[in-house]
Amino acid sequence: MTARDDFPGSVKQTLAKRVGFHCSNPACRQGTTGPREEPSGTVNIGVAAHIAAAAEGGPRYDPSMTPEQRRSIANGIWLCQNCAKLIDSDETYHDAEILHQWKSLAEKTATKELQTGRSHDWDAEIFQRLEHLMPELLAEMREDLLDRPLAREFVLLSSKWIYNSRGPYLAYHYENYPDLEDIMVILGNYDLIQEITFNNVKRYVLSEKLVRYLLNE
């Protein structure tokens, strides 16, 4: 039987506390702890999940890591039980990069809530729906904006096209997202983008509401 590099209890507690005992999946954010009926009891539905698997053969296993690295807090993410099952059932999409993004965003959200004394005023239902419908595109947009936080315009392109334009812009490719134009309709319906197409190339502007969500501001 392959040995597992499980987290010690102190790491599990710290992972949970750093995100306010909420699931780190931005499309979930479920609370993971609460009271039992008896006055002294509590209920926990949270899981300290491994980003890179604790044992060989597990999801996202990284053979280059040492046992100490696998059981360290850097390799952990706090999730509800459903999302912990989700990331291991679909590890192709839920790769290590995505999970590190979730973790970072969840910790920033917890910091904001401590500083302001209230939860973010995002329309949670809308953004949860978008995370379900188009998680890959939102993840790519988020990564682009982390690199270029002042960028607002983007175009839809085929990788076969040659496109020249003045000024910086972001680009998303039809080959990566077969339903890309349908996605634009949905984002437009929520007033999260504005179309500014010219020269037969689909071009859009990101709303500040969407940018703030993606950058967790």
CB environment 133-153: b (16+ within 10 A), e (fewer): ebbebbbbbbebbeeeeebbb
Residue 162 and residue 112 share a domain? no
The reported pLDDT for the residue numbered 59 is 94
Tokens of 63: 């053979």
Alpha-carbon radius of gyration of the chain = 20
Q: Which pLDDT tens digit goes with each residue over 89-138?
A: 988 888 998 899 899 888 988 888 888 766 655 566 788 889 889 999 99
Distance between alpha carbon 177 and the CA centroid of its chain, in Å? 18
Q: Which domain holds residue 48?
A: 9-116
Q: Are 85 and 139 within one domain?
A: no
d(CA 28, CA 83): 8
Residue 32 lies in a domain: yes
Q: Quick one: 22 and 73 in the same domain? A: yes
Average pLDDT, the chain: 88
Q: In this structure, what token pair is assigned to residue 18? A: 């750093």
Residues 55, 104 within the same domain: yes
Q: Are residues 81 and 17 in the same domain?
A: yes
Residue 120: partners with Cβ closer than 8 Å, 6 or more residues away: 109, 112, 113
Decide which of 92, 116, 140 is a domain's last residue: 116
In a domain, 1, yes or no: no
Instruction: Tell me, yes or no, if the pTM score tops 0.75.
Output: no
Query: What residues pair up with 201 in beta bridges, in sequence order?
Result: 198
DSSP assigned state of 74: G
Same domain, 198 and 139: yes
Above 70 in pLDDT, residue 146?
Answer: yes
Where residue 60 falls among pLDDT bands split at 50, 70, 90?
very high
Residue-level pLDDT at 92: 83
Going by pLDDT thresholds of 50, 70 and 90, the confidence category of residue 167 is low
Query: Among candidates 63, 58, 72, which has minimal Cα distance to 11?
Result: 72
- Looking at the structure of the chain, the number of domains it has is 2
Does one domain contain both 90 and 49? yes
DSSP state of 138: H
- The string of pLDDT tens digits covering residues 16-42 is 999 999 999 887 888 999 998 888 889
